[in-house]
Amino acid sequence: MSAPLIEPVDLNLDIGTVVFDCRFSLADMAHGRRVFEAGHIPGAQRFDMETELSGARSGRNGRHPLPTRTTFEQRLRAAGVNNTTKIVLYDGAGPAGAARAWWLLQWFGFNDVAVLHGGFAAWQQAELPIETGAANAVPVSGQVCLREPNASSVVFIDELASQLNLFAGRLIDAREAERYRGEAEPIDPVAGRIPGAVNLPWGDLLDADGRFLDRTALREHWQAAQGAETKPVLYCGSGVTACVLALSRAVADLPPATLYAGGFSEWCADPARPVASSM
């Protein structure tokens, strides 16, 4: 397994590396394409959060359900990826979109993948080359074959809802503190959290430039949030920023976590499910 992060100066844009731009905005679905065309790392492809890093929505399975192996495999092949390709992912400054793609690739058994530390902002600060316009066409030569998803890496809604008491203290909510407490909810129709969850806001693990804190600081945050628990279950609003927590554990050399990808958006879609708040 490769190191989870790569610095801009260490990124070698050679023929064996495929770079994906994962920038997105929850408030503007056209944001990712627009900023990509305004400037991106040379040769980069796009990963679209809504159509490629997420699956079909039913209205009850959360805002960003997991894609199927088949559709994700097809996207990688179209980008020229095969099983020997090194993949590098980047977002804007914070790593949320790139972390989601990193987690998905790990889930499907693709291990030679890294996230650009500091994202596109760090690339620009290093005064490295930039391209504009749409992504270049790539010969469809990828022969990637992903494994079946790792069942131990995820928790699904039926298991969580039926055994909620067993998850108390293991559930880690990655959202901002005011959303966790139920004081504000800008996206989902219900405010609050899944009962038994503790809060570790994903932004607390990053510095002002969107780079991860050092290994010692990350471990301290995790110790404060979960004590001795070695297998937390991570969730957020829709399974995106929770992946920043998952990536932080790899950076800190901690055991991998489990993801509840449906997140609070799936949980609160059924009014019969309990919701906690600090109001």
Among 22, 145, 236, 243, which one carries the catalytic annotation? 236
Q: Which of 139, 168, 151, 126 is nearest to 9 (CA)?
A: 126
Our answer to whether residue 22 is catalytic in this structure is no
Amino acid at site 25 = S
- How many CB atoms neighbour CB 41 within 10 A? 23
In whole angstroms, give the CA distance from residue 159 to residue 155.
7
In three-state secondary structure terms, 210 is: coil
For 246, other C-beta atoms within 10 Å of its C-beta total 23
Q: Is 225 exposed, middle or buried (0-12, 13-18, 19+ CB in 10 A)?
A: middle
Q: Which of 213, 241, 245 is nearest to 226 (CA)?
A: 245
Beta-strand pair 198-199/171-173: parallel
Taking the C-alpha atoms of residue 89 and residue 97, their distance in angstroms, rounded to an integer, is 9
The conformational region for residue 34 under phi > 0 = left, psi -120 to 50 = alpha, else beta, is alpha
Rounded CA-CA distance 81/187 in Å is 35
Residues with active-site annotation: 236
